[in-house]
């Protein structure tokens, strides 16, 4: 069975938009796990526009499932991860100015950069994953860095799913088959949702974990409105 890790960046975005501590990130984390989440993912960025570094240091006190920290391995990020020692670190090649992750690593060109970082994390007892596009050469390049897993960047699958799901998933199936052949674990994430997750999970052999944030938070908002609006109306009726 594939594990579900919930990315809580959007919870922090909502909190930061108003100031204060609503929603309470730590309480949300506890509740998500109580409701069944099998992991918690965060992606702190240098500008700390959603998850702050102080959040990353506080979360181990409440994460009882798998703790996964994503990010670009700049020195500050590497230092933070080595201090926190999460269960898993996922390396993402984000520029400082991007709104969201938008590409996987070129694992061939960046092998010399990634390999010692992967080794340092593994020596600290941290599982490692590298964000990659569904390209066979990039999967094979990931193996040469020494990483434990890859995370397939699923934006192109999600964008093509509605018009032609079989065509959209084909490169992911090929990448997953190759990852299985060479002994890499497989994670996936980005734009997966209730609409497409079942098809994706059914067709990707050896899928260990998905990380879902934006869609899950949006879906939770929509599905919650039907409950919350009547609760307000009931309180206003007296």
Contact (Cβ atoms closer than 8 angstroms) between residue 149 and residue 186: yes
* Residue-level pLDDT at 59: 98
* Residue-level pLDDT at 99: 45
> How many Å apart are CA 190 and CA 215, to the nearest integer?
9
Question: What's the domain range around 231?
Answer: 3-236
Question: Average per-residue pLDDT in the chain?
Answer: 94
Buried-exposed string 146-181: b where 16+ CB fall within 10 A, e elsewhere: bbbbbbbbbbbbbebbeeeeeebbebbeebbebbee
Strands 149-153 and 185-189: parallel
Active centre residues (catalytic): 43, 70, 190
- Supply φ then ψ for residue 165, to 5 degrees: -60, -40
Q: Residue 23 maps to which CATH number? A: 3.20.20.70
Global pTM? 0.94
- DSSP label at residue 211: E
The tally of domains found in the chain comes to: 1
pLDDT tens sequence across 131-188: 999 999 999 999 999 999 999 999 999 999 999 999 999 999 999 999 999 999 999 9
Three-class DSSP category at 222: helix
Q: What percentage of residues in the chain have a pLDDT greater than 70? A: 96
Q: What percentage of residues in the chain have a pLDDT greater than 90? A: 89
* Residue-level pLDDT at 96: 54
Is 95's pLDDT higher than 70? no
């Amino acid at each position: 069975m594939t594990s579900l890790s919930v990315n809580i960046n959007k919870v922090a975005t909502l909190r930061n938009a108003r100031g204060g501590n609503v929603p309470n990130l730590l309480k949300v984390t506890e509740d998500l796990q109580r409701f069944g989440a099998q992991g918690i993912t965060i992606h702190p960025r240098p500008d700390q526009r959603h998850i702050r570094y102080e959040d990353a240091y506080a979360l181990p006190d409440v994460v009882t499932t798998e703790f996964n920290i994503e990010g670009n391995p700049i020195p500050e990020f590497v230092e933070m991860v080595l201090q926190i020692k999460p269960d898993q670190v996922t390396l993402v090649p984000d520029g400082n100015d991007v709104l969201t992750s938008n590409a996987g690593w070129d694992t061939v060109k960046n092998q010399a950069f990634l390999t010692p970082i992967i080794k340092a994390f593994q020596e600290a007892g941290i599982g490692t994953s590298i964000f990659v596009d569904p390209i066979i050469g990039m999967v094979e390049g990931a193996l040469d860095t020494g990483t434990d897993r890859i995370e397939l960047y699923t934006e192109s699958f999600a964008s093509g799913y509605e018009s032609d799901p079989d065509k959209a998933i084909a490169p992911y199936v090929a990448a997953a088959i190759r990852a299985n052949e060479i002994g890499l674990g497989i994670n996936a994430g980005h734009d997966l949702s209730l609409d497409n997750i079942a098809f994706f999970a059914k067709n990707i052999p050896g899928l260990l974990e998905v990380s879902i944030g934006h869609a899950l938070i949006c879906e939770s908002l929509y599905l919650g409105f039907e409950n919350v609006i009547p609760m307000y109306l009931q309180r206003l009726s007296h």
